[in-house]
Structures are given as C-alpha cells and as structure tokens.
Amino acid sequence: MTALLCHQFPCLSDNYGVLVHDPHTGATASIDAPDANAVKAALAEMGWSLTDIFVTHHHADHTGGIDALKSDGVTVTGPAAEAAKIKGLDRSVSEGDTVRLGDHEAEILETPGHTLGHIAYWFKADNLAFAGDTLFALGCGRVFEGTPPMMWDSLKKLRAMPDATVVYCGHEYTLSNARFALTVDPGNAALKSRAAAIEAMRDRGEPTLPTTIGAERATNPFLRPDDPGIRAAVKMPGADDAAVFAEIRALKDRF
C-alpha cells in the first residue's frame, strides 16, 4: 500500500477542489465537483485519471461539476439522505458505510447541520479526512438546514478523530474565521499565534488549508464550547456545550 496523494486547488470564488490519488492503483477521486473545468485542469496538471467523485452535500458549489466530469468509469458517491437532490449519483452511502479508493478505505460519517444529509469521508488508516462544509479552519459551516445542537454533534464526531488527522475543507474562510475567533477566545495564546500566521499566509496568497484536528481542537472556537475562557467570553459559564456552540455560531453569523 502506498500513501495517498492529495492535490488541492482553489476554484469558484472561495471553494477548494481536492484530488485524492492512490499511486499504486491509479484510482483518483475528486472531493466534490465545484467546477468541472478546474477539476479537469488539475487532473491534467497531475497526470491523473478520474475514477471517483466523493460528494459531501448537495449545494451547487459542490455538485455543479458532476455532470461534465461524469463519464464511463467514473463512480459518483454521495449521501443517501440527499440522493434526490444530487443528479448523477451512482452510489448512496450512510453512517458507517465504507468506500474504497484503490487500496485505501474511507469511513462515512454523517455530519448534518449545514445540510441535513451532509457527510464526511474519513480515511482512518491514512489520517486523512474530507469535511466539506461542516468544519473549516477556525470555523464551521453555517447551519442552514439543521439545528445548532445537530451541528455540534457532527463537529464532535470530527473532534474525536486523532490530532494528527489532516483535514481538507470546502472553503477558504480562514482569515475571517480567525478575526472572529479572537473575539470569543481572546486569552488563547495558540489562537493568537495561529491568527497572526494566517494573516501572513493570506497576505502572501497562500492557502491556509488543509488543517489538522489537533490544530482545530486547540484554536477553533466551534470545537471548544466546553472551554472555560470561551464560556466566560460569551457569558455562559454554566450552559451546556450545545447552547454555547449555538451562541458562538449566532455571534459569527452577525460578525
């Protein structure tokens, strides 16, 4: 078994596309299909041939390229709960299902909240996860279809992964997330230094993703509603974690 290779590229206004490639078998997946032309250009640049599309949720900026990328030999996998909303799906998956990419296996985690059927792909043995619009660097997705407690449960599943897990996310929202995070977690030294690093990276035009679960556990306020400093900052010292999470999400929505 050879290590999976990932190639991330910006597309649309602030989305990331990611190709995942198993060098041993040649199997190559596009995580979501934000923009068919950008995915095709990335495949050509890497010299890889598409075998799979792994869809995280039904939003157009994640599925708009499926039609133009689909051909014989490309299998489109996506959430069973959103199968009716995603055109071109070949295979529907749910919590605990596994999907293969060459020699590698990903476990499906249902992570509802942003949309009701949102899923994440976790290549456990590879310490690699694709979180779509559930988790971002220093942020999380807007809760469009679900409820804040539902989103918090989803984020807890991601937070429980090993610290070394490398996480790819759907969007480059990190600079705005960092500025917000400092308002609710002002005493967090690790956050302060990460926020400064992010300002510099964005000044240089560099991507701030992928991230790791360890970095997010230490600095992402949406994974830290149980932190006493954050609870003090939002004036909810005795509330339950889901309520504190909901307040942090509401504050960010107005930020």
**CB of 6 closer than 8 Å to CB of 30:** no
Q: What are phi and psi of 193, to 5 degrees?
A: -70, -35
- Which one of 16-24, 56-64, 204-212, 239-247 is the stretch in contact with Fe ion (CB under 5 A)? 56-64
Least distance to Fe ion, CB of residue 100, Å = 25
Q: Encoding tokens for residue 90?
A: 């070949």
- Among 59, 118, 126, 185, which one carries the catalytic annotation? 59
Residues 57-76 that bind Fe ion (CB under 5 A): 61
Q: 227 catalytic, yes or no?
A: no
Please report how close the Cβ of residue 197 comes to Zn ion at its closest, in angstroms.
26
Catalytic residue (choose from 35, 52, 57, 126)? 57
- Spatial neighbors of 61 by CB under 8 A, at least 6 apart, are 12, 15, 34, 170
State the minimum distance, in angstroms, from the CB of residue 239 to Fe ion.
29
Nearest distance, CB of residue 13 and Fe ion, angstroms: 10
- Say whether 58 is catalytic: no
Is 104 one of the annotated active-site residues of the chain?
A: no
**Contact yes or no for 216/137 (Cβ under 8 A):** yes
Q: Could you tell me where the DSSP H helices lie in the chain?
A: 36-46, 60-63, 66-69, 148-159, 174-184, 189-203, 213-219, 228-233, 241-253
Contacting Fe ion (CB under 5 A), which of 117, 170, 210, 225? 170
Residue 156: strand, helix, or coil: helix
Nearer Cβ to Zn ion (15/219): 15
Distance between CA atoms of residues 120 and 122, nearest Å: 6
133 binds Fe ion (CB under 5 A): yes
* Residue range at the interface with Fe ion (CB under 5 A); choices 17-25, 67-75, 127-135, 229-237: 127-135
Q: Among 133, 172, 185, 216, indicate the residue that binds Zn ion (CB under 5 A).
A: 133
Give the binding range for Fe ion (CB under 5 A) out of 19-27, 54-62, 196-204, 240-248.
54-62
Which structure tokens are listed for 191? 């956050």
Say whether 24 is catalytic.
no
137, exposed or middle or buried, with CB in 10 Å at 0-12, 13-18, 19+? buried
Closest by CA to 53, choosing from 44, 36, 114, 140, is 36
Question: Which of 22-30, 105-113, 123-131, 169-177 is the region at the interface with Fe ion (rule: CB under 5 A)?
Answer: 169-177
Cα–Cα distance, 16 to 162 (Å, whole number): 23
> Is there a catalytic annotation at residue 61?
yes
Q: Which is nearer to Zn ion, 59 or 249 (CB)?
A: 59
Q: How far does Cα 140 stand from its chain's mean position?
A: 9
- The catalytic position among 52, 61, 126, 185 is 61
Q: Given candidates 59, 194, 224, 249, which one binds Zn ion under the rule CB under 5 A?
A: 59
> Structure tokens of 179?
């500025």
- The residues of the shown chain that bind Zn ion, judged by CB under 5 A, are 59, 133
Which residue numbers are catalytic?
Answer: 57, 59, 61-62, 114, 133, 171
- The residues of the shown chain that bind Fe ion, judged by CB under 5 A, are 61, 133, 170
